[in-house]
Chains A and B, each alone.
Chain A
Amino acid sequence: MYKKLLSHVKEYKAASIATPVWMIFEVIFEVLIPMCMASIVDQGVKENNMQHIYVMGGIMVVLAVMAWFSGFMGGIYGAKASTGFARNIRKAMFERIQTYSFSNIDKFSTAGLVTRLTTDVTNVQNAYQMLLRMCFRAPFSMLFAMIAAFIIEPKIASVYLIAVFALSIVIVSLARAAMKCFREVFKKYDDLNAAVQENVSAIRVVKAYVREEYETDRLRKAAQNIYGLFVKAEGRVVMVAPVMQFTVYTCILTISWIGAHMIVAKQLETGELMSLLTYCMYILMSLMMMSFVFVMVSMSAASVERIAEVLSEESDIKEPETPVTEVKDGRIEFCNVDFSYGKSGSGVPVLKDVNLSINSGEVIGIIGATGSAKSSLVSLISRLYDVSDGSVKVGGRDVREYSLESLRDQVAVVLQKNVIFSGTILENLRWGNPEATDEACKAACRLACADEFIENFPDKYETRIEQGGTNVSGGQKQRLCIARALLKKPKILILDDSTSAVDTATDAKIRKAFREEIPGTTKIIIAQRVSSVMDADRIIVMDEGRVSAFGTHEELLADSRIYREVYESQTGGNGDFDEQGDR
Chain B
Amino acid sequence: MAEQKVKEIKMGRGRNMGPRPKLKDPGKIFGRVMVRVLSKYPVQFIVAVSCIIITIMCSIKGTFFLQSLIDDHIEPLMKAENPDFSGLFHAILVMAGIYAIGIIAVFVQNKLMIYISQGTLRDLRIELFSKMEKLPISYFDTHSHGDIMSVYTNDIDTLRQMISQSLPQLLNSGITIVSTFISMIVLSPVLTCVSLIMVAVQIFVTGKVAGGSSRYFIEQQKQLGSLNGFIEEMMEGQKVVKVFNREKINVERFNELNDSLYESAKKANQYVNVLGPINAQLGNLSYVLCAVAGGILVFNHGTGFLALTIGDLASFLTFNKSINMPINQISQQFNAIVMGLAGAERIFRVLDEIPETDEGYVTLVNVKRNPDFKGVETNTERADENAAPLIASEGEWLETEEKTGIWAWKHFHKADGTTSYVKLTGDVVFDGVDFGYVPEKTVLHDIKLYAKPGQKIALVGTTGAGKTTITNLLNRFYDIQDGKIRYDGININKIKKDDLRHSLGIVLQDVHLFSGTIRENIRYGKLDATDAEVEAAAKLANADGFIRRLPDGYDTVIKSDGGSLSQGQRQLIAIARTAIADPPVLILDEATSSIDTRTEKLVQAGMDGLMKGRTTFVIAHRLSTVRNSDCIMVLDGGRIIERGTHDELIKEKGRYYTLYTGIKSEAAGA
A546 within 8 A of partner (CB): no
A207 within 8 A of partner (CB): yes
Interface residues of B in 569-601 (CB under 8 A from A): 577, 581, 592-601
Interface residues of B in 229-277 (CB under 8 A from A): 229, 231-233, 235-247, 249-251, 254-255, 258-259, 261-262, 265-270, 272-274, 276-277
B599 touches A580 (CB 8 A): no
Which among B34-42, B294-302, B390-398, B427-435 touches the partner chain? B294-302
Min CB gap A198→B, angstroms: 6
Residue of B nearest to A196 (CB): B152
**What A residues does B18 contact at CB under 8 A?**
none
B475 within 8 A of partner (CB): yes
In the complex, which of the residues A67, A422, A497, A578 has the most CB atoms of chain B within 10 Å of its own CB atom?
Answer: A578
In the complex, which of the residues A114, A208, A245, A246 has the most CB atoms of chain B within 10 Å of its own CB atom?
Answer: A208
Min CB gap A499→B, angstroms: 9
A65 touches B281 (CB 8 A): yes
| Assembly CA distance A152 to B399 (angstroms) | 93
A100 touches B296 (CB 8 A): no
With A76-B273, A201-B145, A581-B464 given, is the CB distance from A45 to B132 under 8 Å? no
| Assembly CA distance A313 to B321 (angstroms) | 52
Residue of B nearest to A404 (CB): B245
Which among B182-190, B339-347, B508-516 touches the partner chain? B508-516
B295 touches A45 (CB 8 A): yes
Partner of B239, one of A45, A74, A105, A530: A105
| Assembly CA distance A519 to B203 (angstroms) | 77
| Assembly CA distance A192 to B620 (angstroms) | 37
Interface residues of B in 459-486 (CB under 8 A from A): 460, 462-465, 475, 477
A242 touches B593 (CB 8 A): no
**What A residues does B237 contact at CB under 8 A?**
419, 421
Residue of B nearest to A44 (CB): B295
**What B residues does A68 contact at CB under 8 A?**
277-278, 280-281
| Assembly CA distance A147 to B134 (angstroms) | 65
Partner of B126, one of A79, A220, A497: A220
A193 touches B277 (CB 8 A): no
Which among A286-294, A329-337, A566-574 touches the partner chain? A566-574
| Assembly CA distance A500 to B597 (angstroms) | 13
A431 touches B118 (CB 8 A): no
Min CB gap B114→A, angstroms: 5
**What A residues does B601 contact at CB under 8 A?**
569
Interface residues of A in 475-509 (CB under 8 A from B): 484, 488, 497, 500-501, 503-505
B495 within 8 A of partner (CB): no
In the complex, which of the residues B126, B246, B317, B621 has the most CB atoms of chain A within 10 Å of its own CB atom?
Answer: B126
B508 touches A205 (CB 8 A): yes
A270 touches B74 (CB 8 A): yes
A99 within 8 A of partner (CB): yes
B240 touches A419 (CB 8 A): yes
| Assembly CA distance A363 to B67 (angstroms) | 98
Partner of B273, one of A74, A203, A370, A417: A74
**What A residues does B494 contact at CB under 8 A?**
none
B106 touches A242 (CB 8 A): yes
A86 touches B103 (CB 8 A): no
A53 touches B274 (CB 8 A): no
B277 touches A249 (CB 8 A): no
- 20 other A-B residue contacts (CB within 8 Å) besides A238-B113, A256-B69: A50-B299, A68-B281, A79-B272, A94-B254, A200-B149, A201-B512, A202-B561, A242-B104, A260-B85, A264-B77, A264-B83, A372-B596, A405-B245, A412-B243, A415-B240, A419-B236, A431-B246, A501-B593, A581-B463, A582-B463
A sample of 23 inter-chain contacts (CB < 8 A) reads A40-B295, A60-B284, A60-B287, A67-B281, A75-B273, A79-B266, A86-B262, A114-B228, A198-B561, A200-B148, A203-B137, A209-B524, A242-B110, A249-B62, A261-B85, A368-B596, A384-B242, A419-B240, A473-B463, A501-B593, A530-B597, A573-B623, A577-B622
